[in-house]
Amino acid sequence: MNSALNTTRRQFLRLTPGAVALAALPSVLRAAAPIKPMSLGYSLYGMKMVPLADAFGACAEIGYRNVEVCMFPGFPGEPQRVSRAARKELRRQLDSLGLTVSSIMAKFRLTGDPAAQTGNLETLKAAAELGQGLSPDHPPLIQAQLGDGRPSQWDEFKHRMVARLGAWADTLAAYGTIAALGTHAGNAVNTPERLLWLYHQVDRPELALYFNHIHYALEGIPLEQSLPALIPYSRFLHLQDATGTADNKNYLLPGDPEGPTDFPRYFRLLAKYGYAAPVVVHISGKFSNAKGYAPIPVAQQCYRRMNQALRDAGIRTT
């Protein structure tokens, strides 16, 4: 028997990442799959100055079905600013609006000194508790972008990152919560191969992946390569667009006419590979920190564009 046939899918991904990722997909995903509905959501990273209750109401009125709560310092979702009583009241509001929390957006430093890892674990605990306070029956993911270090530091940091992610999984296990890991262009974890290597090295159910195609596009990796490699492990997805390179990023709103992404085609590719988790609009700080930024009209514009793109792709939303 050909020895190649005895190679496990995990080994195959490690040995031949990216270029032959499609062959490594589970057979159920390679087969033609029925198109499943997707939940269109909005990241409240784009609503820093809007109280959570107002942001929830606005997103539901616009038509979004889920929200990502940002717990960065200074944001309304910062855990110390949301008391237990407030979490309970927000939970009632979410239920009444038919809105879910898809993720908690938090900041982490995976390559820093030991004090950084202590901070990471404290942040994970706070994020898990916030998520469970808002949605105890279905705790949201913790979105963890691995956005530190430089590409040239990969070999220096990769084993440290594996050990630290193992400690993350130990912490998350006590909460029944999952952290979804993603990359950032221009940082140490900047390719599908590196992200998959970390994920498989740790190999814990408390960790999954999230996908934002622009960070690979900025590194010169096309959607046709990044999406098949990562979507089988992804539980969350950011919608964004950009031009430029990893060293010269020009972030755009999703659906911007100047953007290179054909979103109906993108959504059809997602459906082809069986993705049926949240698709969440993400607004860069380039916009939200600009003078005169109007968060609600921007959220409305992005909804119209992405909802139309989903319709054009023949995909229902939940």
pLDDT band with cut points at 50, 70 and 90 for residue 31? very low
Which of 27-36, 279-288, 296-305 shows the lowest mean pLDDT across its residues?
A: 27-36
pLDDT band with cut points at 50, 70 and 90 for residue 317? confident
Which alpha helices (H) appear in the chain, and where do they start and end?
9-15, 21-24, 27-30, 52-62, 84-97, 114-134, 154-173, 192-202, 214-217, 223-230, 263-272, 285-288, 295-312
Q: What percent of the chain has pLDDT over 70?
A: 89
pLDDT band with cut points at 50, 70 and 90 for residue 318? confident
Residue 30, pLDDT > 90, answer no
Q: Letter for the amino acid at 274?
A: G
DSSP state string for 150-174: -GGGHHHHHHHHHHHHHHHHHHHHT
pLDDT in tens, 135-150: 999 999 999 999 899 9
CA distances from 23 to 20, 32, 207, 257 (A): 6, 14, 23, 34
Q: What is the rounded distance in angstroms from the CA atom of residue 150 to the CA atom of residue 99?
A: 38
CB 4 within 8 A of CB 66: no
**CA end-to-end span of the chain:** 47
**What does the block give as tokens for 73?**
């310092």
Q: Letter for the amino acid at 179?
A: A
- pTM > 0.85: yes or no: yes
Q: Torsion over CA of 236, 197, 156 and 152, rounded to 10 degrees?
A: -70
Residue 8, pLDDT > 90, answer no
Q: Check residue 35 and give its pLDDT.
A: 58
Q: Per-residue pLDDT averaged across 192-216, rounded?
A: 98
Please give the mean pLDDT across all residues of the chain: 90
Q: What is the rounded distance in angstroms from the CA atom of residue 186 to the CA atom of residue 249?
A: 9
**What does the block give as tokens for 134?**
């808002």
Rg (alpha carbons) of the chain, rounded to whole number: 19
> What are the chain's domains?
37-312 (3.20.20.150)
Q: Check residue 40 and give its pLDDT.
A: 98
Residue 37, pLDDT > 90, answer no
